[in-house]
Structure 1
Amino acid sequence: MSIDLPSADDFTELTQHRHASSVSVYVASSGSDGNLSPIGRHPESAQIALRTAVTDALSGGTADEVPASDRERLLGLVDALVEDRDFWSTQARSLAVFASPDGLRSFRLMNRLRTHGSLGDRFDTGPLIRATTFAHSGFVLALTKGSVQLLSLESDASNHEMVLTGLPEDLGLELQTADHDGRMDRQRADGNQRPKAQRRDYCSTVQEAVLQQINGSDHPLVLAASSDLEPAYREVNTYRRLVEEGIPVNPASLGRDELARRGREVLDRNYAAQLAEWRERFGTLRAHGRASAKLRDIARAATAGQVDVLLFDLTAEREGTIDEYGNVTPADEPSAHTYGLADEVAARVLRSGGTVKAVRGADLPDGAKIAATFRSAV
C-alpha cells in the first residue's frame, strides 16, 4: 500500500490514548537534492529523520521524566519499524508515527507535513487530523485506449504520477475489435454489444489497478477519458468519490501539468459547491438552535456527541484545555499540558462518528474560526 489513512476507530484509539511516555513524530521525505519525493525513492533519509525526531523528542524539556525502561522500549519499537522493508516501499510523502511503551502506530500519507516530534502524556494527532480532513487534494485518472495515467493532486498545489501495478502489458489489445465493429455481422445478434462489453472489461481492469492505489482514501477522483471510454468507466465504477463532472477533453492531447491544472479546477468547483450548500444549511439550522460558530458551544456539543459536521480553520493555533464536560480553558501560551483547541474538538467529533473538515478561513461563515451543525438542538 502507498497510503494508510486512519479510520474512525484509529482516531478514537489515538486520541483517547494516555501514557506519560508518548512520542508523536511526523516525517517528510526528501531526496538528495532536498526536494520532497516519495519515501520509497529515498527511504534512508526518512529513516534517519525518524530516528532523529524521536531522539530529539526524548531529549526535550520533560524527557527527564521518562524512565530508562520506557526509553529503551520506545527506541526498540522505532528500530523495528525502520527494519520493516515493506513499510518503506511506498509512494507516501510523509509519515505519522505514534509510539509509547504500549506499542507503535504508523501512517503513510500523501500530504506534505513538517518534520517534528513531541513528547507528552497524549499523542499529538492535530497534524494528522488536519492532513486527512483538508479536502484540497484528489486524483485524476486519464484513460484512453492502451494508456492509463493516475495523478495525485496534493493540497500544496503539487502533483505526481502514481504507479499502477497489475495492468497487463498488452492492455490495449483488450479493445481490439473487427474493423466492421459488428455492424455487418448480421448472423450474430450481439454484434453491436460486443464492443461495449469489451470497453466495460477494459475499464474494469483499469479500475482494479486504480483501487489498489486509492481505495480507502476519501479524496475525490476526477475522470479524464476519451468519449468512448468515459461512459464505460462510470458504468463499472465502484469508487464512491468519483466526481460527476469530468474533464471533457481527450487526455492524450494534454501534458501532465495541464491535466493536473484542469483536474484541480474541477475539484475546486466541486468543493466550492459542497461548502456553499453546507453554509446555507448551517444558516437554516442555526436559526433553530442546531448550529453554532462559537467554540464553547461546539466544544460542549462535541463532548456530548451531538456534532454532526464540524468545519475549522486549517490555520487555527489557539491552545488550551477542554475538560470532560466540554468546558474550554484557553491558554495564554502553549505548554506541555495544553493542546490545540480546534484539534481537540475535532478529535471528539471523530470519536462520536461526526464529520470533520479542515478548511481555509474564507470558507467558514461569518469570519469564524470554527463552525458546526448539531444532531439536535443544544
Structure 2
Amino acid sequence: MPILTKNQFENLAKFDNNPCISIFIPTQRIGKDVLEEKDRIQLKSQWKKVNEKLKNFGLPQDKINSIAKPLDDLLNDSDFWRHQSDGLAIFMADGFFEKFTLPVNFEAFTYVSDHFYLKPLIPMFSGNTRFYVLALQLDRVQLYEGNLYSIGEVAVNDLTPSRLEDRVGYDYEEKALQFKSQNPATGDTIMHGQGAAERDRKNEILRFFRAVDEGLREVLHNEKVPLVIACQDSFFPIYQEANTYKNLYDKSVPGNPSDYENMLALHAATLDVLDPHFNKEKENKMNQFRELKPGRTSTAVSEIIPAIFEGKVDTLFLENREDIWGNYNENMASVDIHEEPNSTNMSLMNLAAIKVIEQGGKVYLMENEFMPAQDSKMNAVFRY
C-alpha cells in the first residue's frame, strides 16, 4: 500500500479554488459489505449532500456535473471497490480529482469551501511516527517504511543479499552432513561436534545478517527513526549483534514474517510493538501542557490561532470528531467564532492544524476525556 506523502499533503493544503470538495467515507476490505457494494452506496449518498450544497451556493448544474465526472467514473469502477482499505478520502475541484485509499477508519464527512479539509489526515504528518520494519528470514529479506497509518515496501534487492545461500554459498542440510560419519567396525552413525555445528550455524547467520546490515546503511545512514525487526525469536539476538544502526528498536515483531498474511497484518503487528514509543512523545507533550507556567499554554481559540500564524505554537491538541466554525482575519489577528457551519465560514480546527503542520509543529487528535484541558476543543503549547 503506497504511503500518502508529505508532498501530496502540502499540495492539497496549498490548493486554492472555489469550490473545493472534500469527501471522507469508511470502507471495508472484505466481507458481505464489499459484495453488496455498500462502500459505493455510501459514496453516492455523500455526493448527494455535496450536490445540494453546491446548488445552495448557486453553482450551475452543468458545472456541478463537470466536477462530478471523475467521481462518476470511480463509482462505475467495480475493480476499485473490490480493493479497499479502511477509509477513502476524495478531493475534488473544477479540473482536479484526487483519491486516497488509506488504512484510516474515517467517519463519513463532506466539506465544501475554497480549500480542502485535511484534518482527518493530520496524524499521518504530525510528530515523528515514521519507522522502518525489516522482515528477516533466511530465504527472504524485505524492508518496509511506514507510519501510524500507512506502509510501503522499500526496494533493497540490489543492496542486501536476499537469502542466506547468496551470502554463505551452501545450505545447512549440507553443513549438517559434515558432522556425520560411520564407525567402520559396526556401521553405526556417529555424530561429531553437535555444539560446534550449532556455533557454526550461528556464525553463518551472523555473517548473513552483517551483510544485510551493511546493505541497509545506504538507506538508513541519515535516518533517526526506529528500525523494527520482524523475525523468529532466536534470530533477533543475532541481528542485534550484527546491527550498526543506532535506532534499532529493542523489541522485535514476534513470529516468522511469513506467518503474517499480508503487509497490512505485518503493519498492525509492528504498531503493537511500537505503541509505547509513539505514546511517549504524546505523553511528554501533555505533561508539558500541565506543568508549564501560565502564558506558555492556552485553551482560548481567539488566542491560539493568532499565535499559530505568528509561529509560536509547538503542539496543538484538537478534540477528535469535533469542530470549531468561524473566520480568521490575519491582518487584524481576530477570530470570529460561529455556532454552525455556513457558506461564508470555515473550520478553524482545519485551518489551525494545517498551519501548525506547515511550521513543523505537532498536532494530536484526541478524544475529549484524554484532552489535557477537557473544557476546550483546542489546547496549545507555545514555543515561547
**TM-score for both structures, normalised by structure 2:** 0.65
Please state if 1:370 is matched with 2:378.
yes
Give the Cα–Cα distance (whole angstroms) in 1 for the partners of residues 124 and 238 of structure 2: 33
3-state SS in 2 of match to 1:65:
coil
Deviations 1:17-46 (A, max 9, x none): 44333221223333674457xxxxx89765
Alignment map for 1:182-221 (pairs within 5 Å): 195-201=205-211
> May I ask how many residue pairs the two structures share in their alignment?
347
3-state SS in 2 of match to 1:228:
helix
Please state if 1:272 is matched with 2:270.
no
1:307 to 307, 313, 319: 313
Against the structure 1 CA distance between its residues 83 and 115, is the aligned structure 2 distance closer, same or farther, given a 3 Å change threshold? same
Against the structure 1 CA distance between its residues 235 and 73, is the aligned structure 2 distance closer, same or farther, given a 3 Å change threshold? farther
Alignment map for 1:128-207 (pairs within 5 Å): 128-129=121-122, 133=126, 143-146=136-139, 171=163, 173-174=165-166, 177=171, 179=175, 195-201=205-211
Match for residue 246 of structure 1?
251
Identity rate of aligned residues, in percent? 20
Against the structure 1 CA distance between its residues 253 and 31, is the aligned structure 2 distance closer, same or farther, given a 3 Å change threshold? closer
Give the Cα–Cα distance (whole angstroms) in 2 for the partners of residues 44 and 165 of structure 1: 35
Match for residue 354 of structure 2?
347
Deviates more, 1:115-124 or 1:20-29: 115-124
1:105 to 98, 116, 124: 98
Deviations 1:189-244 (A, max 9, x none): xx997543312445789999xx9xxxxxx997754433434663796698x9x772
Against the structure 1 CA distance between its residues 348 and 49, is the aligned structure 2 distance closer, same or farther, given a 3 Å change threshold? same
Please state if 1:296 is matched with 2:294.
no
Deviation at 1:299, TM superposition (A): 0.9
Give the Cα–Cα distance (whole angstroms) in 1 for the partners of residues 349 and 241 of structure 2: 38
Give the Cα–Cα distance (whole angstroms) in 1 for the partners of residues 366 and 241 of structure 2: 29
Deviation at 1:74, TM superposition (A): 1.0
Give the Cα–Cα distance (whole angstroms) in 1 for the partners of residues 144 and 327 of structure 2: 40
Match for residue 341 of structure 2?
334
Match for residue 3 of structure 1?
2
For structure 2, list consecutive stretches of 5 or more residues without a partner in the other structure: 179-192, 194-200
Deviation at 1:302, TM superposition (A): 0.9
Against the structure 1 CA distance between its residues 125 and 3, is the aligned structure 2 distance closer, same or farther, given a 3 Å change threshold? same
Give the Cα–Cα distance (whole angstroms) in 1 for the partners of residues 49 and 265 of structure 2: 42
Deviation at 1:133, TM superposition (A): 4.9
Give the Cα–Cα distance (whole angstroms) in 1 for the partners of residues 140 and 67 of structure 2: 46
Larger Rg: 2
For structure 1, list consecutive stretches of 5 or more residues without a partner in the other structure: 37-41, 185-190, 212-217
Give the Cα–Cα distance (whole angstroms) in 2 for the partners of residues 315 and 301 of structure 1: 24
Match for residue 318 of structure 1?
324
CA RMSD, Structure 1 to Structure 2 (Å): 5.4
**TM-score for both structures, normalised by structure 1:** 0.66
| Contact 2:326–2:335 (Cα < 8 Å) also in 1 | yes
Give the Cα–Cα distance (whole angstroms) in 1 for the partners of residues 43 and 225 of structure 2: 27
3-state SS in 2 of match to 1:98:
strand
Match for residue 70 of structure 1?
63
Give the Cα–Cα distance (whole angstroms) in 1 for the partners of residues 48 and 308 of structure 2: 35
Deviation at 1:123, TM superposition (A): 2.1
| Contact 1:136–1:267 (Cα < 8 Å) also in 2 | no
